[in-house]
Chains A and B, each alone.
Chain A
Amino acid sequence: MRLPPFQALLDEHRDDVYRFLVASLGRDEADDCFQETFISAMRAYPRLRDASNLRSWLFTIAHRKAIDAHRARGRRAVPVEEVPEQADAGGLPLDGEPGLWRAVRRLPTKQRAAVLHRYVNDLAYADIGRVMGCSEDAARRSVHEGLKKLRTVWAT
């Protein structure tokens, strides 16, 4: 088994993983989740059996950590009457499409993850299935349902 030095993995994939986490969680939480992802990866790394697709292996871990973070946020959430615009500012990864990205973050878990894996991480449907632990078809469906929902809030 030829596993490359962990530093090489970090150098090669850190930007992609970070971008995924920012898009998924917003910048404030992305940082912690990034640490969690790579610490988990480093812990499991020597026991890894298949080194052929390290990128999707890392995304699998990042995916789970992002879901954990979303759940933790759900538990923390305190209802307020009106969410101030400012509150989301730290979570905007992008120039340009804040409305769209807020909408993505409000999609149901599966659809949000599938849309991000498809369009931010540029993963093939088969890889999305692997990362999310579902079939290729199910991954395709989640992406399409996510897009359908997004269209209702993002009129072209």
Chain B
Amino acid sequence: MNELERALRSAALPPGDAGAAAAAGKLLARAEDEGLLEVAYGSVESPFGDLLAAVTPRGLLRLSYDPSRNDTVLQQIAEKVSPRMLEAPARLDPVRRQLDEYFEGRRNKFDLKLDWRLTRGFFQKILRETARVPFGKVATYKQMAEAAGSPRAVRAAGNALGSNPIPIVVPCHRIVRTGGKMGGYGGTLGPYIAGPEIKQQLLELEGALDEAGRPRL
């Protein structure tokens, strides 16, 4: 390589140049103005660690517990909803505020629009029924299957709840087993987060457990 080519190759911007970062920062506002931002995502805090949250113009699309799965979760959203996704923490402010209030015991109903596009068919039916179970109450898998019009599909109802893309806000933790056993939680959780423990804590927060720590059916 001759000297001219070497000189051309040394065309790096000075190290630490913030130009690209600043330019990229301005992109978000522009994309929103032009209606190109179809999925905004970022992290929100919870007592169980940071949650990944994604919203669309239709509403809250996804809440996810396990940070080690963030890339997989985002890729699924890109494929199922839209790849026009940008990190936009400010867009999550309403979700963040309501979750804070909920965890502080100051809110017992979420006032958020939901985007159901990550779930379909029978699973969506079950989850929509689940969304109607109020704060402080529990219901059984069997009741959910019945409410969705398929009384014998109890196991499928369990699978639907395990696949819930919007935990906490769609309160799948309020669904327990017939006879009052807690049942599983965290079908979508990774190995480092104790799903059943989270379920227990959420029901406790909502006052849905008796003195023995069992769901009040």
Q: Which residues of A contact B (CB under 8 A)?
A: 2-8, 10, 14-15, 17-19, 22-23, 27, 30-31, 34-35, 38-39, 42-43, 45-46, 93-97, 100-101, 104, 115, 118-120, 122, 147, 150-151, 154, 156
Chain B residues lying within 8 Å of A122, measured Cβ to Cβ, are: 9
Other-chain residue from A6, A22, A93 in contact with B85 (beta carbon distance below 8 A): A6
Whether B2 pairs with A6 at a CB distance below 8 angstroms is no
Closest residue of chain A to B39 (Cβ to Cβ) is A5
Whether A42 pairs with B75 at a CB distance below 8 angstroms is no
Known: A42-B31, A46-B83. A19 touches B4 (CB 8 A): no
Whether A95 pairs with B9 at a CB distance below 8 angstroms is no
Q: Which residues of B contact A (CB under 8 A)?
A: 2-5, 7-14, 19-24, 26-27, 30-31, 34, 36, 39, 41, 74-75, 77-79, 82-87
Whether B19 pairs with A22 at a CB distance below 8 angstroms is yes
Whether B10 pairs with A5 at a CB distance below 8 angstroms is no
Whether B11 pairs with A115 at a CB distance below 8 angstroms is no
- How far is it, in angstroms, between the C-alpha of A38 and the C-alpha of B30 when the chains are bound? 10
- How far is it, in angstroms, between the C-alpha of A79 and the C-alpha of B130 when the chains are bound? 71
- Within the complex, the shortest CB–CB distance from A90 to chain B, in Å, comes to 11
Other-chain residue from B5, B19, B27, B82 in contact with A39 (beta carbon distance below 8 A): B27
Chain A residues lying within 8 Å of B85, measured Cβ to Cβ, are: 5-7
Chain B residues lying within 8 Å of A23, measured Cβ to Cβ, are: 11
Whether A154 pairs with B4 at a CB distance below 8 angstroms is yes
Other-chain residue from A30, A31, A39, A120 in contact with B36 (beta carbon distance below 8 A): A39
Whether A46 pairs with B14 at a CB distance below 8 angstroms is no
A–B complex contacts, Cβ < 8 Å, 12 sampled: A2-B79, A5-B85, A14-B24, A18-B20, A22-B13, A38-B24, A46-B82, A94-B12, A100-B4, A122-B9, A150-B8, A151-B4
Other-chain residue from B11, B13, B19, B34 in contact with A31 (beta carbon distance below 8 A): B19
Q: A5-B78, A30-B19, A115-B8 are in contact. List 4 more A-B contacts (CB 8 A).
A: A45-B83, A46-B82, A120-B8, A154-B7
- How far is it, in angstroms, between the C-alpha of A150 and the C-alpha of B4 when the chains are bound? 8
Whether A156 pairs with B2 at a CB distance below 8 angstroms is yes
Whether B19 pairs with A147 at a CB distance below 8 angstroms is no
- How far is it, in angstroms, between the C-alpha of A118 and the C-alpha of B27 when the chains are bound? 27
- How far is it, in angstroms, between the C-alpha of A3 and the C-alpha of B26 when the chains are bound? 23
- How far is it, in angstroms, between the C-alpha of A118 and the C-alpha of B4 when the chains are bound? 13
Whether A101 pairs with B11 at a CB distance below 8 angstroms is yes
Known: A119-B9, A119-B11. A14 touches B83 (CB 8 A): no
Whether A39 pairs with B11 at a CB distance below 8 angstroms is no
- Within the complex, the shortest CB–CB distance from A153 to chain B, in Å, comes to 10
Chain A residues lying within 8 Å of B36, measured Cβ to Cβ, are: 39, 42-43
Chain A residues lying within 8 Å of B39, measured Cβ to Cβ, are: 5
Chain B residues lying within 8 Å of A4, measured Cβ to Cβ, are: 75, 78, 83
- Within the complex, the shortest CB–CB distance from A102 to chain B, in Å, comes to 13
- Within the complex, the shortest CB–CB distance from A73 to chain B, in Å, comes to 19
Whether A27 pairs with B19 at a CB distance below 8 angstroms is yes
- Within the complex, the shortest CB–CB distance from A148 to chain B, in Å, comes to 10
- Within the complex, the shortest CB–CB distance from B207 to chain A, in Å, comes to 39
Whether A5 pairs with B75 at a CB distance below 8 angstroms is yes
Whether A19 pairs with B11 at a CB distance below 8 angstroms is yes
Other-chain residue from A7, A31, A96, A104 in contact with B23 (beta carbon distance below 8 A): A31
